[in-house]
């Protein structure tokens, strides 16, 4: 299995389309990133799925896909300098306190924070990936958690005995900064 990140220029971005967590208060904040899980070379990006480890007092990727509750990083981007502005230039570093919304059924987001297995049929080339995503209405594409990774994965088939969160692609689209992205809805937790 060769995990490949969904194409984006620098860092992933996220658009909240329809989510319940701001209204229901299911938001984790004031919890720092786990320094070993998110080193300087692999910062935390908007759209990542994380777990709030309350015992350790940190945010980190899931150890197992059955860890709950899953949350999605959705902090408003900050502009650190005049020449590098916008969604694609923002990520959370060690010491940051990202805002995390706990995912619920029906939550819908658009993001390019995804990975895929480029040995899976339909994902072997960039053209095949695009064709598969464009045919989401006739051939379902799912978004699932990956143990040990905060980046959710695109797949055409759910793993056997998979018990983690599942999103279903509802549109092959763009994220707010114009890069290609995927809109998905959470259909199972």
| Chain segment 121-135, per-residue pLDDT in tens | 888 888 888 999 999
Mean pLDDT of the chain: 87
Is the model's pLDDT at 86 over the cut of 70? Answer: no
Interior angle at CA 26, CA 164 and CA 95, nearest 5: 85
Q: State the pLDDT confidence band at 185, using cuts at 50, 70 and 90.
A: very high
Average pLDDT over residues 137-143: 92
| Contact predicate 28/100, CB 8 Å | yes
At 78 the pLDDT is 65
Q: State the pLDDT confidence band at 40, using cuts at 50, 70 and 90.
A: confident
Average pLDDT over residues 70-81: 78
| Contact predicate 155/145, CB 8 Å | no
Give the 3-state secondary structure of residue 111. Answer: strand
At 106 the pLDDT is 94
Nearest alpha-carbon partner for 59 in 73, 46, 76, 80: 73
pLDDT digits 0-9 by tens, 9-36? 888 899 999 999 999 999 988 889 988 8
| Contact predicate 149/12, CB 8 Å | no
At 92 the pLDDT is 83
Q: State the pLDDT confidence band at 87, using cuts at 50, 70 and 90.
A: low
At 1 the pLDDT is 52
Nearest alpha-carbon partner for 105 in 15, 185, 25, 27: 185
Is the model's pLDDT at 84 over the cut of 70? Answer: no
Higher per-residue pLDDT: 101 or 95:
101
At 104 the pLDDT is 93
Average pLDDT over residues 85-100: 79
At 85 the pLDDT is 58
CB contact set of 63 (below 8 Å; sequence gap of 6+): 51, 147, 148
| Cα–Cα distance for residue pair 93/97, rounded to 1 Å | 9
At 47 the pLDDT is 93
CB contact set of 49 (below 8 Å; sequence gap of 6+): 61, 62, 70, 71, 72, 103, 145, 150, 151, 152, 165
Residue 48 in tokens: 């990542």
Residue 129 in tokens: 């990936």
Domain boundaries defined on the chain: 110-188
| Cα–Cα distance for residue pair 42/3, rounded to 1 Å | 15
């Amino acid at each position: 299995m060769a995990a490949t990140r969904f194409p984006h220029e620098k860092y992933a971005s996220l658009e909240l389309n329809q989510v319940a967590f701001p209204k229901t208060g299911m938001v984790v904040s004031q919890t720092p990133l786990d320094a070993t899980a998110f080193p300087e070379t692999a910062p935390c990006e908007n759209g990542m799925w994380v777990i709030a480890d309350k015992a350790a007092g940190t945010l980190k990727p899931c150890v197992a896909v059955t860890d709950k509750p899953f949350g999605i990083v959705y902090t408003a981007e900050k502009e650190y300098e005049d020449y590098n502005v916008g969604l694609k230039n923002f990520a959370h570093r060690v010491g940051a306190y990202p805002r995390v919304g706990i995912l619920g059924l029906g939550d819908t987001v658009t993001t390019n924070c995804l990975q895929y297995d480029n040995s899976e049929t339909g994902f072997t080339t960039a053209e095949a990936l695009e064709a598969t995503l464009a045919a989401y209405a006739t051939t379902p594409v799912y978004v699932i958690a990956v143990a040990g990774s905060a980046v959710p994965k695109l797949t055409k088939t759910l793993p056997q005995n998979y018990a983690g969160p599942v999103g279903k692609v509802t549109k092959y689209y763009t994220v707010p900064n114009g890069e290609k992205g995927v809109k998905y809805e959470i259909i199972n937790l």
